[in-house]
Structure 1
């Protein structure tokens, strides 16, 4: 049986920075509304959940998600909600969804993007272009 080894999504920014520093990888911070934002769902399905992206991200990025669900059944813990709003107030002050921020291991912004019609490989190249 073949098992896909997917990238691990972080939910704590300090942990993500630590891992990024230790592994010399950029951080990909994804702001999404998983149960109300159609472009967010498309980006997740067409890019982030694909085998191509997952396998690449595992070795090249530290992925962190800041989700803002609206349905009660998808509610986050108060601590995670607070954490996500702190990230929103720092990195997504315009409240754009989906919003993808490429950061260095110290949290410095290297680039910003969102959803656009791209293959997983094209999206990877786009994210890599921010690394300089």
Structure 2
């Protein structure tokens, strides 16, 4: 037997606004009953496959999160995805790209939660 991931939970000051931002990043939809001001908001996994992303309102946060999301471009390259995310309001925290094409870029969402953008599967295959 094994467990399955039901959802990944993200602590937030404003769950609806942050979930809306991530919906644009991931091309996901908010749950039908989510409205501004709710203490939680859910990004539903496409087709019910994979974990949902649950954004919950928290008071004071203590310390850095124990994990973060690693993303790659569904289409295109890491660099075009980083540019798209910056246009949506993400900020670059650290650039870990290497001259050989490997590496990643660390970004932060509008509330400062860090995530990484890695090379796309096509980029990894081309360098193999």
Q: Which has the higher contact order (CA 8 A, sep 6+)?
A: 1
Higher alpha-carbon Rg: 2
**What TM-score comes out, normalization by structure 2 length?**
0.30
In terms of fraction of residues, the more helix-rich structure is: 1
In terms of fraction of residues, the more strand-rich structure is: 2
